[in-house]
A = this chain, B = another copy of it.
Amino acid sequence: MFMINVGVLGYGTVGSGVVEILKKNADLITQKSGKEINVKYVLDLREFEGDPVQSVLVHDFEIIKNDPEVNIVVETMGGLHPAYEFVKASLEAGKNVCTSNKALVEAFGPELIKIAREKNINFLFEAAVGGGIPIIRPIRDCLCQEDILEISGILNGTTNYILTEMTDKGAAFDDVLKDAQDKGYAEKDPTADVCGYDAARKIAILTSLSYGKTVKFEDVYTEGITEISAEDIVYAKKLDKKVKILGSAVKKDGGISISVMPYLLSKDHPLANIDGVYNSIMVVGNMLDDVVFTGQGAGKLPTASAVVADVVEAAKFLNENIYLEWEEEKLPLIPFEETKAQFFVRVKGNDFKASGFDVQNVPSEFEGETAFITSEITEKEFKAFKDSTEVINYIRLK
């Protein structure tokens, strides 16, 4: 049987998970793929005394790059550099690359996909979005016949955990964040998660793949969950809605808009009941209507599993590019201020009366404030209102 040789760059959480799965599930991988997959090298600056990986450990990328027997490189180093340099060099050397690195994919995806195409190999990144949840391959293979009208997801486990806890326990954001950090569900520096940047990178990647042209992270209007309070959650419950933060791209009237924002979702929204650390991505096609992919968006073994799925695919299609459309050309987007939404708003004062748009009054739950839901207005109109009013907080409806 033909043996496939793999070089793993980075023996951290995901990298070691990849080695573990390739070893533990070796027989069934061979059975189901028809190929025998061997980890020939693991690259890391560190030593791992007592770990069997020591026998395949190297400290010099050139060893992997220059070995013609290595067919597939796994990049699980994280960060942009030298991940980008190593990945590019691997592809140029005719080696397939499988990565879990969303920052790398968001920043350099189209370029790397193009090199792979020219070399008749593959650059694969299922694990870069949604951890173990199959979503990249389904978009490429199962949904390519669809005109995608919407792709929205709960893309970050940290913020979903926090919002779930705030909802279930009526607790304050700061308390739940601290608890999440203690439990390992949030980083010491939680900015990327709670400010929505992680979700923004992911929705940028998913949208680029859905439409074949590039959306950059900087183009995604992003609001995190740091302003969501226990009081907001009280209102959500009274309105029979759930507060969720979604990365969302919507195609409407021929134009595409993209954002990451908290929303009040009605209870029958497909994403409303996805709780805890779970992630979920909903895709709406013009023929298919909605499909939803749910699972663990992070974690060592789920994420490593998706990387191994890429390795198996690369092994099955050795020296053959699987066509994937993602051009460097930017996807035209509707300017954010022109997009429309309904807003749930809390303002200071007992008798506030809004003007310029219609509102549906919401009984006030707390002293000294007024609450209402606006009619559908543009972001520009809402910004003007917000800049001239003492707004306590607001959450858009979806």
Contact = CB atoms under 8 A, between A and B. Distances in A.
Contact of A144 (B17, B147, B299, B309): B309
B144 A312 contact: yes
Interface stretch (A21-29, A53-61, A66-74, A328-336): A21-29
Interface string A3-17: 000000000000001
A289 B132 contact: yes
Contacts of A146: 25, 305
Given A31-B325, A34-B323, A291-B295, A141 B309 contact: yes
Copies, count: 2
Contact of A138 (B33, B137, B305, B316): B137
A141 B313 contact: yes
B309 A145 contact: yes
Contacts of A270: 294
Given A287-B302, A293-B291, A312 B145 contact: yes
Give the one of A126, A289, A291 with max B CB within 10 A: A291
A122 to B, nearest CB: 12
A32 interface: yes
Interface residues of A, number: 55
For the residues of A in contact with B, the DSSP-based class is mixed
Contacts of A17: 287
A285 interface: yes
Interface string A113-140: 0000000000000100000111001100
A192 to B, nearest CB: 24
Contacts of A292: 292-295
Contact of A291 (B24, B133, B286, B301): B133
Interface in A143-181: 143-147
B309 A316 contact: no
Contacts of A288: 132, 295-296, 301-302, 305-306
Nearest to A273: B273
Contacts of A296: 288-291
A311 B309 CA distance: 23
Interface in A301-342: 301-302, 304-306, 308-309, 311-313, 316, 320, 322-323, 325
Leading 10 A-B pairs by shortest Cβ distance:
A291-B295, A134-B142, A145-B308, A292-B294, A32-B144, A288-B305, A287-B301, A287-B305, A132-B288, A134-B138
